[in-house]
Amino acid sequence: MSAAKRVQQWATFARTWHIFDCKWQDPYQSAEVIKKYLLGMHKPIYHPMNDCGDVVVCINSREIALRGNDWRQRAYFHHTGYPGGATWTLAWEVHNKDPTMIIKKAVYKAMRGNLQRRHTMQRLFIYPGEEIPEDIVQNVTNQIRQLRLVPTRLDHIDEEEVKKFPKVMDYPTDYVLK
């Protein structure tokens, strides 16, 4: 095997580290994307029996956004196994307790349930804020594109820019400004 081929072999089977910024992202939609990187489905050498999955680091998981009224309507079910041991916890209560749990459960649910799933989950790192340990930052070589644009708040836009922005609506002539 020539030196070039050997490097190609290393590059093909090496684990790549991806970073994903969860700010204003829907966890259930981004789980479908993260899953593909965790299982290595984005690679041409993918096969279910082939251990070619990558590592994904999720940051800002505290800043995830749920759709509509999901925060108060989505319930997470847990059963202790004892009679009467069923509990339903709302999404905002889960997120209050552990800001990494919703995205973790979403990725876990997006994958097929087999013996590999729990090992694949070990390759997912989730951090509630932007601070990551230094040894993990050094491994990261790729960034996964965000699915949704992070919205800009009106008070963060420059006041001059708001004034100069083209207007659609004009007040009627007898309107009293408030």
Partner 1 sequence: MSLLLKNSYSLIKNAIVSTSLRTLSTTNQLRLKEIREHKEGSTVVLEGVFVPSPRTELLVRAENVKESPHICPNTCYMCALDLDVKHTDVLILSQFVRSDGCMLPRRITNLCPRQQKKIGKLVTMAQKAGLMINLTPSYCKKDPKKRYGFKKFNTYFDEKTIFMKRIPKPTDRFER
The residues binding partner 1 (CB under 8 A) are: 24, 26, 63-68, 70-72, 90-92, 95, 148-149, 151-155, 157, 162-178
* CB nearer partner 1, residue 6 or residue 72: 72
Shortest CB 71 distance to partner 1, Å:
4
| Residues 6 or more apart in contact with residue 158 via CB below 8 angstroms | none
Tell me the closest approach of the beta carbon of residue 46 to partner 1, in angstroms: 32
Cβ 38 to partner 1, closest distance in Å?
24
Give the SS3 label for residue 53: coil
The whole-angstrom separation of Cα 32 and Cα 36 is 7
Minimum CB separation of residue 57 from partner 1 in Å reads 20
Residue closer to partner 1 by CB (options 24, 125) is 24
Beta-carbon count within 10 A of 5 CB? 9
Q: Rounded to whole angstroms, how far apart are CA atoms 86 and 7?
A: 53
Q: What is the β-pairing status of strands 75-79 and 86-90?
A: antiparallel
Shortest approach of partner 1 to residue 157 CB, angstroms?
7
The answer to whether 62 and 129 have CB atoms below 8 angstroms apart is yes
CB-based burial of residue 77 (10 Å sphere; 0-12 exposed, 13-18 middle, 19+ buried)?
exposed
Parallel, antiparallel, or unpaired: how do β-strands 55-59 and 75-79 relate?
unpaired
Q: Which is nearer to partner 1, 66 or 136 (CB)?
A: 66
- Of the pair 112, 178, the CB lying nearest partner 1 is at 178
Between 3 and 169, name the residue whose CB sits nearer to partner 1. Answer: 169
